[in-house]
Chain A
Amino acid sequence: MIFVILLSLLLLIILVTGLIAVFIPHIFGSVVLFNAFSFFVVLAYLLLSAPDVAFTEAVIGVISTAYYVIAVRELRKGDRE
């Protein structure tokens, strides 16, 4: 029972975080919320006893966040040269 409650709560958080990450107008906030979404997906995978998938998701979440941060930094610079 506690498993179902915890998993439903986690899935609700994932849904809300993903929706806000899509619809927020602030671009860097979207990146941070995507990182939070990835973290909650990792927790869901761990709860569903898939540690290998969870490890891959954690690593991919970190590296994609680094990519997005660099891309946002390049966007903020505007038209250089």
Chain B
Amino acid sequence: MKSTTNSIILEVACRLLIPVLIVFGVYVLVHGEYSPGGGFQAGVVLALAVVLNRVMEPADTKKGYWTFKIIALAGMGPIIYLLTGLWSIPFGGNFLEYGHLPLAVHEAERHLYGILFVEIGVTVGVMATIISIFDSLGKVGDPDDHGSLL
């Protein structure tokens, strides 16, 4: 059977929803200090954009899943967190002490940038983990693809 498309209404709705989800995810990440939100929620919202695309594609298309790349990205998140924490140690601070970050701004603003980098790490980790779990759940088709690497 030929690769069939889904309902046209669902396709158009997804085409409109996915950019909004991505922009909203970045907004939740960056603005998370002043409003509800933060790294975890932003990661889930960004992953929802990818998951929505995966749900909407027809069941018999060839899935180009990035199984290894997405697990590597899930490892990148904690590494960003760790490097942010270690960054202040050579400049006389403790682990994750944002006041000693070598940025040429006021100290309160240094705290803000430190928290932002940590939240970026959390976002990348959560997003990649959720996409990886989703890919492992919906393994169909490819006979040479035996589920997750883990």
Residues of chain A at the chain B interface (Cβ within 8 Å) = 51-52, 54-56, 59-60, 62-63, 66-67, 69-71, 73-74, 77, 81
| Interchain CB contact under 8 A, A70 and B44 | no
- Chain B residues within 8 Å of A66, by CB: 48, 51, 55, 134
- Give the distance in Å from the alpha carbon of A60 to the alpha carbon of B138 in the complex: 19
**Could you tell me the distance in whole angstroms from the C-beta of A32 to the nearest C-beta in chain B?**
15
Q: Of residues 114 to 136 in B, which have CB atoms within 8 Å of A's CB atoms?
A: 130, 133-134
Tell me how many residue pairs across A and B have CB atoms closer than 8 Å.
Answer: 40
| Interchain CB contact under 8 A, A63 and B48 | yes
**Could you tell me the distance in whole angstroms from the C-beta of A59 to the nearest C-beta in chain B?**
4
Given contacts A62-B48, A63-B130, A70-B55, contact A56 B137 (CB under 8 A): no
- Chain B residues within 8 Å of A73, by CB: 138
B40: which of A56, A67, A70, A81 is its contact (CB, 8 Å)? A56
**Could you tell me the distance in whole angstroms from the C-beta of A3 to the nearest C-beta in chain B?**
21
- Give the distance in Å from the alpha carbon of A4 to the alpha carbon of B16 in the complex: 40
Known pairs A66-B48, A70-B55; list 14 more (Cβ under 8 Å).
A52-B36, A52-B37, A52-B38, A54-B36, A60-B44, A63-B44, A63-B48, A63-B51, A63-B130, A67-B133, A70-B137, A70-B138, A71-B137, A81-B143
Q: Does residue B47 face the partner (Cβ distance < 8 Å to A)?
A: yes
| Interchain CB contact under 8 A, B134 and A67 | yes
Listed by A's residue number, 12 A-B pairs whose Cβ atoms lie within 8 Å are A52-B37, A55-B37, A59-B45, A59-B48, A66-B48, A66-B55, A70-B134, A70-B138, A71-B137, A73-B138, A74-B138, A81-B143
